[in-house]
Structure 1
Amino acid sequence: MADGEDENFSDPYAVSTDEKGPEDYVRVQVVVLGLQAKNTLQGFKMVKKPANFTVDVKYEDRSFTLLVFAKDKDKKKNPSLKNCKVHIKKLPDEIIPSDCYYKVDKELITIFLHKAKSRSWERDLATHGLDTYTEEDGVSS
């Protein structure tokens, strides 16, 4: 169990989507207030990792779930840090889960979804947005 996993989740501050990432990818940007990033050596390059949160993304063929847990020691120092969850239950089309990834920056998690078909999702995203699921009311929005 990750730090704080048993606690309630709140919605992230903001979520936006576009196709400005690599070709055949959709970019989902999630703003998480208080998220700090630290530079870490991975292989031969520096990458940013979350410093005060644990990030977990589960990708499926037509959906994904982002879980962001504030680390207990950081929550004690800053009680305003909140766990957050984004559950997208139906994407406009299939993705390739093994090719999806995310990057972390200060107060921002950017998820890159690799589309299975090389077609634009721009119209679908502009018209319908992402089909999210909220557990409070048990319905999609």
Structure 2
Amino acid sequence: MDEEPTCGHGLAQSSAVPADLAAVAAGLARNLEVHLRALDPGDTVAAQEHGVYERVAHRLRSAADDLRAAATEMAAAYDLPMGDHDMAAITTADALGAFEEYVAAEDDLRRALEARRRDNEQMLTAIRGAVPDAD
């Protein structure tokens, strides 16, 4: 007999979203941190760039940590027992709207990542060509 899905199951299945967002945020933070090495500390404009990149990288690392923690808690909720629900409270226009907003945000994210993909691939190719012994 199939196991009846619970909110815990759904939460656990959705844990991949914050986990993947955490990986992207951490990857972007690392990229910014590595970029800092290229900046000339004696150049005023480079110093401004350094400050911005450093602050953004810190915020991205913090966000990644929070997202990983949320993903871990969500994944651990798989066996959460199903509590009583007031179905009238979750079958409302605002509940529908909240879920529609979430689905639309996922779609927007997918489109944004797809749009950046070609540029990122071109940059990877250029960097690989400039790195000695990169295969």
Which of the pair is proportionally richer in helix?
A: 2
TM range (shorter): under 0.3
With a CA cutoff of 8 Å and minimum separation of 6, indicate the structure with the bigger relative contact order.
Answer: 2
Q: Which has the larger radius of gyration?
A: 2
Normalized per residue, the structure richer in strand is 1
TM-score normalised by L of structure 1:
0.19
